[in-house]
Structure 1
Amino acid sequence: MEKVHYLKRFMFLVMALGLVTTFVSCDDDDEPKPNSPALTDVVGDYTGKMQILLSTPAATEGEETPEGTDVAVKLTQDEVVFEKFPVADLITAIVGEEAAPGIIEAVGDVSYKMKYTPAFNDEKTAISLTFTPEPLVLEINFPTEETAEGEEGEETPDLKVEVTVVAPEAGTFAYAGDKLALKLQVSGVKVNGEPLELPTTTFSFNLAKMK
């Protein structure tokens, strides 16, 4: 009888251990597994601020830093897309403050796209973006003005502005906070085919991915 009693206790212990192992295994299966980083993690919609920096003498001490312009950017798997590229300050620099408002209105929303190539950093905590910008072309057609007699006046010639855009450094997408930082630089401007001297202008973007 005593042997039978010990045998039952042994079988009960084996069954109990089996149940514990099963529960632990199920708990492990239920735990979410972390996703592996992928270069497509950078794809999405972003909002934030853009600041324009001119290559002029350094600002005097105590001068406030500009707040920046609100911008929205979309990243596909191979392109950065600006549906409304902020060109108001650039146009003002080209034509002056007096003429700028009418031209800005005539230009309307400016779409701009550029290709990029993504790559991980060594720790896979960030993705660098190497850009290949194309020139930004603004074609402006001025409306004709009617004379007092109701006849059309002399037609204003169209204005074509070709802006050479470069990327002075790679952009960065940081997983911490889903932050995207990039810089674009205007290195040259032509108005109706004629070069225009302007200080080097840098567009600095600090953006966050929309959830």
Structure 2
Amino acid sequence: MEKVHCLKRFVFLVMALGLVTTFTSCDDDDEPKPNVPALTDVVGNYAGKMQTTSVSPLAEEGEEPQGTDVSAEVTNENVSFEKFPVADLITAIMGEAAPGIIEAVGDVSYKVKYTPTFNDDKTVISMAFTPEPLILEINFPTEPTEGEGEGEGETPDLKVEVTIAAPEAGSFAYAGDKLAFKLQVTGVKVNNEPFELPVTTFSFDLAKAK
């Protein structure tokens, strides 16, 4: 009889140890796992400022540039702007006629393709940009003439083709979720004719929305 009691105690002990091990495993599973950096961490919505500078500054000498409010969406492949800030650029090209043209242009969407890579310690994502030209097609409002369908077969009154380059790679820093990059206007054509314009740089300093 004593042997039977010893056997039962042994079985209960084994079962108890098994339950303790099970609960310990569950607790380990519930522990948060450390975040592993991924190139997709740059994806999100951003807001901040854009500064415009050129060889011949657009601002008066001594005037502190305020910057332009800007927002962007970063996907796996592109940095996209629903409202790309073109007012400074149009002002540089068109001078006194700029306000009416800015109004006629309205919102300008633009996106820039990029390729991401990590730095050595994975604290920064480097972004190599491959910008396409920015095309602005502007039709000024006119009174339709008799027998002419409005908008049928029209060519734009003004077509501006802006060649854009990326002078250096952009960067997304995990510290503060900061995105910084530059786009540079290297050439302009107005109605297919080259237009002389100093090299103009757009510097973006954005923060990721929480």
Return the offset for 1:19.
8.4
Q: Percent identity?
A: 78
Q: Of 138, 141, 147, which aligns to 1:143?
A: 141
1:164 partner amino acid = T
CA deviations on 1:141-162 (whole Å, 9 max, x unpaired) are 111269xxxxxxxxxx701100
- C-alpha separation between the residues in 1 aligned to 2:47 and 2:127? 17
2:132, 2:18 → 1: CA distance?
A: 65
Residue 31 of structure 1, CA deviation: 2.1
Q: Equivalent residue for 1:131?
A: 129
Letter in 1 for 2:192: G
**For residues 33-74 of structure 1, what are the alpha-carbon distances to aligned partners after superposition, in whole Å with 9 as ceiling and x for unaligned?**
1121111111111000000011237x999x353121110101
Please tell me the residue identity of whatever aligns with 1:169.
Answer: E
Please give the alpha-carbon distance, in whole angstroms, between the structure 2 residues aligned to 1:127 and 1:208. Answer: 14
Q: How many Å separate the matches in 1 of 2:74 and 2:177? A: 13
Q: Distance in 1 between matches of 2:30 and 2:141?
A: 66
1:47 aligns with 2:47: yes
Deviation readout 1:5-40 (Å, 9 max, x if unpaired)? xxxxxxxxx999998877765544332111211111
User: SS where residue 99 of structure 1 aligns?
Assistant: helix
Q: Name the SS of the counterpart of 2:83 in structure 1.
A: coil
Of 114, 118, 121 in structure 2, the residue corresponding to residue 120 of structure 1 is 118
TM superposition score normalised by structure 1? 0.80
Q: What's 1:100 paired with? A: 98
Count of paired positions: 196
Residue 131 of structure 1 and its aligned partner are, at CA, apart by: 0.6
Tell me the SS of whatever aligns to 1:124: coil
CA distance in 2, matches of 1:190, 1:54: 18
Give unpaired runs (5+ residues) of structure 1: 1-13, 147-156
CA distance in 2 between partners of 1:159 and 1:21 (Å): 76
Matched, 1:159 2:142: no
Deviations 1:115-166 (A, max 9, x none): 11111111011101111100001011111269xxxxxxxxxx7011000000
- Which amino acid in the other structure matches residue 32 of structure 2? P
Letter in 2 for 1:184: L
Q: Cα deviation per residue 1:83-130 (whole Å; 9 max; x = unaligned)?
A: 10000010000010x211100000000000121111111101110111
How do 1:1-211 and structure 2 match up within 5 A?
26-56=26-56, 63-96=62-95, 98-144=96-142, 158-211=157-210
Task: Give the AA of the match of 2:82.
Answer: E
The alignment's TM-score, normalised by the length of structure 2, stands at 0.80
> Stretches of 4+ moved more than 4 A in 1?
14-27
Question: What is the alpha-carbon distance in structure 2 between the residues aligned to residue 84 and residue 208 of structure 1?
Answer: 17
Tell which deviates more after alignment, 20-29 or 75-84: 20-29
